[in-house]
Amino acid sequence: MPSSPPSDTDGAAQFVPEGKSWAALRSAAEGCRGCDLFHDATQTVFGEGPVPARLMMVGECPGDREDTDGHVFVGPAGRLLDKAFAAAGIDRSKTYLTNAVKHFRFTERGKRRIHQTPRRSEVVACFPWLREEIRVVKPRLVVVLGSVAAKALLGPSFKLTEHRGEVLEHDGLRVGVTVHPSAVVRAENFGEAFDAFVADLEAVRKA
């Protein structure tokens, strides 16, 4: 099990019912006040999927659609992830999906809510939830999608670009590394970025 990153605050730890079931964790997460993101977010967006699961994917934080609907990976990045799953031979229904941070971080621009990358302090504060998800899901492989998720599990100095497509051993976990699907959505050369993303997913599936 991964240990918690060092923190000057208890963060979510005071809200996490350690050692309990997934249902108890999800219920408790609805009342989490471990960082300030809960003030503006619509709701906590907890992980979803089979428990236990052989494969667990960890993204960054909910987007606008996820915050509204209360489900993980249902916006543009989620739709692209579904296409990449199909191309790589991964069954979403057998995969547990979650995020390193459970509340939407955004800035308002007119009527639009624009996603912002979570601060390190918010990632650290939310880590107890991710740690407990890993405990109950018992994945054989955890895949981190993007640098925020990678640094949440592998430490703040971890460089995704140096390890993309690899499977690493860390704190008793096997961790696959790739980009976040939102980076593929925004890529200038979409076809090339999508193919590279699928290749990463195929590599971790084989692992």
Strand order in the sheet with 141-145: 95-99, 55-59, 141-145, 173-178, 167-170
- CATH code where residue 153 lies: 3.40.470.10
Q: Which residue range is the domain that position 137 belongs to?
A: 11-206
Could you tell me if residue 4 is inside a domain?
Answer: no
**Structure confidence by residue, pLDDT tens digits, 8-21:** 446 999 999 999 99
Q: Give the 3-state secondary structure of residue 60.
A: coil
Is 2 inside a domain boundary?
A: no
- Distance between CA atoms of residues 51 and 92, nearest Å: 13
The answer to whether residue 110 is domain-embedded is yes
Question: Is residue 181 in a domain?
Answer: yes
Residue 143: strand pairing partners:
57, 176
pLDDT number for residue 71? 98
pLDDT per position as a tens digit, 127-172 = 999 999 999 999 999 999 999 999 999 999 999 999 999 999 999 9
| SS3 of 92-150 | HHHEEEEECCCCCCEEEECCEEEECCCCHHHHHHHHHHHHHHHHHHCCCEEEEECHHHH
Tokens 């800035």 -> residue: 107
Would 174 be classed as within a structural domain?
yes
pTM of the model: 0.94
Pick from 78, 144, 73, 152: nearest CA to 119: 152
- Domain total of the chain: 1
pLDDT in tens, 42-92: 999 999 999 999 999 999 999 999 999 999 999 999 999 999 999 999 999
Tokens at residue 33, please? 């006040």
